[in-house]
Each structure stands twice: as C-alpha cells, then as structure tokens.
C-alpha cells in the first residue's frame, strides 16, 4: 500500500495517530468491514489482519477496533485489534449493544400478546436492556391505546406509542436512542424500515408491504448494519422474524419475565430449583396474566432440553477438534447424511458379511 499524499491526510491528526486509529465497525460483509473512525466522517473499507484469524478473533458489527495503515485516498485500512466487548448478541451477531428496541404495531398487523411475549422473552434472554415501541398508534382508538399501555405496564414495560404518519412519539424515541447503540427488532410489517427512514433520512431502506393473506409482513432486511443517527448514537436494523425460538434451560426461563422477577423480591420459593409449576410454597405461581403463557413456554423449553439430553454425545451439535498448538476448539458437527464413514466402521460392516479372513481380503482390495 503506497503512502498517502500529505494533502489527503486529516490536518487534525498527529503523525503517531496516522499509524493506528480506533473506530466502530458499522457493517460486515464477507471478509470486509466498514469502520467509522472517531476522527473521520467517512468510513474506511477494511480487511482484518491474519493474526486475528489465527487466534480465532472474530470481527463483529459494533466492535470497537484499532485500524492500521489507513489509506485516506483509497479509503481503506486493516483491522489490527478488537477491543474487549461490553456486550454481545449471537443472533444477530452484533457487539457492544446498549439496548434492544422491540417495535410492534397496534394495528396492521394486529398486535398478538403471544407473539409479543416470545419477542420479549428472547430479548430478555440476552441480558441487555429491553425497550418497547408500539407503532401505528394512529390506527388504534384511544381506548385501545390505553388498554395496551396499562396491560404492558403490568407486564413490566412502559411502551412508547409512535405514529410516523402523525409524527407523534418521535421526540421521546430520539431521547431513548441518544448516544447509544440500539438494536431494532420485531416482526415483519410493523414499520421498522419506515422508522429508520424517518430517523435517518439519508438511508433509504426497502419498505415491505403487509401480506393481506397472512396478516403479517414480508421479510425485507437482509443483513445487520449500524446506521448513524443525526442526533447521536447508532441504530441496527435486524431481519424480521414471526416466531423467534426460545432456547434456554428450563430454570432460566423465569428470569426473562419481569413479573416473576418482581415476585421473587417478595420472598424465595421453598425449593431453589423451583420451576413454578406445581411445587409447594411457590412464590411465583398465581393469578397474573402471563402465567399460563409462562407455563406454555416452559413446556416448550423442557421438551427442547429433553430432546438435547436424549441425543447423547453421539448426536451432539458440536464436536471437539484438536489444534496444532494444543488448543481444543468446538466445531459444528455435520448432519449424519453428510458424514464420511470411518475406516473402522467400514471394516465392522464388512465383518458382518464376510468371515474375518475374507474381510481382510475385501478391505485390502479397496
């Protein structure tokens, strides 16, 4: 890489700063990363140093990174270091998130309490602060707005009522997003892309139409990307899903319900491993709205855990692979249909068809 001309360098940067700069990864695609440096308005297109891959260091959207050898003319550089993350989400892969903003619509599509709860539980499972926004409030009556606001506060959430059409609630939303990295999530068709277009006018995302047949939206977001808010902060749009999975241990599920966390402050259950079903002296079980839904989700999680336990090590989803440096790392296990039969297994199968002597002859011929 040739040395950039002095006229192409930012005047405010000292010579020692030109060799190593810090910034935030705004987008990742294949082995390239768009990095917004602290001192620059335009992001650099960067690759990652080979040593990062050697030590298994993944570069994620939202990472704070150190960039070496920036070329200001070509707008390129190389990610040399990834700083310690304060938070991380696996799906979608994004780091240093401050909060998750769940966006649902009061109408078109109709707000469904079960689907909303699945998204809330999934968001709570990340351990990151969860905020709730109800879009298209102009399509709901004042009685419906009061109903859902009161109901959700009993769940433990104080929603923002938003109307892009009437420009209501945007000020409250800007205050919530200010100087934070926020992940925007929710089902398709609730207006996430339209919301980003309003918050960040220079970004034009494709707006999906709600399917009249299914009463839900078509998927429009293809990858994760951080967008800079004019008032400060970063916003990440994520693919829309109609039914997020609930993958956790049965004992963890209760932690993802604010109502249960509140009831635990009043006292502890008799048993430390209480699942709040039919155990004696349970402090959680009772007449609260989402308790039947908690039991439904619990049955789903228990069934999933039972399925994992019954698979055994032979059907584990990952397997250990030894590295040359002595480090053992897990890697995905191929499905049975794509696994290569071992030589030992081949010989055992041959022994079932031939005598030992014939088996050795047949195996030697292969």
| pLDDT tens, position by position, 158-199 | 999 998 888 888 889 999 999 999 999 888 888 888 888 888
* pLDDT exceeds 50 at position 7: no
Residues making up the binding site for Zn(2+): 269, 274, 276, 282
- Please check whether residues 171 and 126 belong to one and the same domain: yes
For the chain, how far is it from start to end, CA to CA, in angstroms? 52
- Please check whether residues 11 and 34 belong to one and the same domain: yes
The pLDDT value recorded for residue 364 is: 52
The pLDDT value recorded for residue 116 is: 94
Establish if 324 belongs to a structural domain. Answer: no
Residues making up the binding site: 135-138, 186-194, 269, 274, 276, 282
Establish if 245 belongs to a structural domain. Answer: no
Establish if 243 belongs to a structural domain. Answer: no
E strands of 6-106, at which residues? 20-29, 32-37, 44-48, 64-71, 76-82, 88-89, 94-95, 99-105
The pLDDT value recorded for residue 214 is: 37
Establish if 289 belongs to a structural domain. Answer: yes
Residue that finishes a domain, picked among 237, 260, 282 = 237
- Residue 365 is part of which domain span? 337-366
Residue that finishes a domain, picked among 197, 216, 237 = 237
- Please check whether residues 157 and 279 belong to one and the same domain: no
Among 162, 210, 164, 166, CA closest to 187 = 210
Count helices and strands (H / E) in the chain. 11, 17
- Please check whether residues 166 and 222 belong to one and the same domain: yes
Residues making up the binding site for GTP: 135-138, 186-194
Mean pLDDT of the chain: 79
- Please check whether residues 98 and 185 belong to one and the same domain: yes
- Please check whether residues 102 and 232 belong to one and the same domain: yes
Structural domain count, the chain: 4
- Please check whether residues 99 and 18 belong to one and the same domain: no
> Residue 169: which CATH number?
3.40.50.300
Establish if 281 belongs to a structural domain. Answer: yes
Residue that finishes a domain, picked among 176, 205, 237 = 237
Per-residue pLDDT tens for 214-246?
344 443 445 678 988 887 899 987 765 556 888
* pLDDT exceeds 60 at position 205: no
pLDDT bin (cut points 50, 70, 90) of residue 62 is very high
Which are the contacts of 254, defined by CB distance < 8 A and separation ≥ 6? 260, 261, 275, 276, 284, 294
Establish if 332 belongs to a structural domain. Answer: no
């Amino acid at each position: 890489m040739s040395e950039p001309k002095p006229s192409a360098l930012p005047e405010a940067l000292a010579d020692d700063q030109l060799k190593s700069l810090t910034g935030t990864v705004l987008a990742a695609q294949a082995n390239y990363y768009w990095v917004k440096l602290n001192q620059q308005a335009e992001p650099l297109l960067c690759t990652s140093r080979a040593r990062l891959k050697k030590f298994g260091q993944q570069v994620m959207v939202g990472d704070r990174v150190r960039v070496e050898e920036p070329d200001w003319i070509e707008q390129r550089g190389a990610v040399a270091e990834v700083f310690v993350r304060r938070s991380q989400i696996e799906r979608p892969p994004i780091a240093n998130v401050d909060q998750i903003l769940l966006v649902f619509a009061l109408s078109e599509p109709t707000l469904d309490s079960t689907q909303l709860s699945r998204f809330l539980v999934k968001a709570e499972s990340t351990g990151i602060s969860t905020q709730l926004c109800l879009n298209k409030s102009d399509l709901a009556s004042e009685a419906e707005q009061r109903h859902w606001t009161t109901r959700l506060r009993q769940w433990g959430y104080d929603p923002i009522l938003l109307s892009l059409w009437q420009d209501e609630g945007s000020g409250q939303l800007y205050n919530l997003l200010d100087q934070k990295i926020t992940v925007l999530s929710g089902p398709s068709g609730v207006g996430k892309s339209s919301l980003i277009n309003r918050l960040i006018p220079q970004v034009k995302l494709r707006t999906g139409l709600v399917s009249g047949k299914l009463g839900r939206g078509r998927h429009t977001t293809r990858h994760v990307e951080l967008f800079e808010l004019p008032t400060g902060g970063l916003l990440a749009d994520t693919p829309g899903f109609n039914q997020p999975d609930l993958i956790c241990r049965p004992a963890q599920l209760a932690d993802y319900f604010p109502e249960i966390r509140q009831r635990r402050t009043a006292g502890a259950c008799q048993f430390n491993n209480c699942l709040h079903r039919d155990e004696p002296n349970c402090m959680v079980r009772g007449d609260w709205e989402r308790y039947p839904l908690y039991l439904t989700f619990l049955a789903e999680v228990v069934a999933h855990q039972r399925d994992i336990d019954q698979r055994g090590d032979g059907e584990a989803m990952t397997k250990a692979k030894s590295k040359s440096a002595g480090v053992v790392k897990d890697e995905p296990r191929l499905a049975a249909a794509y696994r290569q039969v071992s030589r030992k297994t081949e010989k055992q199968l041959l022994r079932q068809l031939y005598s030992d002597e014939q088996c050795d002859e047949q195996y030697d011929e292969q």
